[in-house]
Amino acid sequence: MIDAKENPNPERFLKIVRGMTEEQRLKKEFELSDVTRELSKQGLRERFPDLNDTEFKNLYFERLELCHTRNW
């Protein structure tokens, strides 16, 4: 079964993105990056609620390092 929320209207999405200026697209990319970062932190905090701030920061950066590719 396909979840309709995954990509409800890809043509409309592409039309909107193509209508943006480069500056608008870059701003949106930064916004999405910020949201992703905060969701990641929230998920880690929920999984590891007993870590102090230093332990949490170390865990976050360890996980972040695993996400970066080294192909470029």
Q: If the chain, 72 residues long, is cut into consecutive pieces of 10 residues, what is the mean pLDDT of each piece?
A: 66 92 95 93 97 97 81 54
Range of the domain at 26: 10-67
Is the residue at 40 inside a domain? Answer: yes
Is the residue at 23 inside a domain? Answer: yes
63 contacts 40 by C-beta, under 8 angstroms: yes
Is the residue at 62 inside a domain? Answer: yes
Tell me how many domains the chain contains.
Answer: 1
Cβ neighbour number for residue 25 with a 10 Å cutoff: 13
**What residue type is 43 in one-letter code?**
G
Is the residue at 5 inside a domain? Answer: no
44 contact partners, CB below 8 Å, separation of at least 6: 56, 59, 60, 63
Is the residue at 60 inside a domain? Answer: yes
Is the residue at 53 inside a domain? Answer: yes
| pTM of the predicted model as reported, rounded to 2 decimal places | 0.67
So what's the pLDDT on residue 5?
64
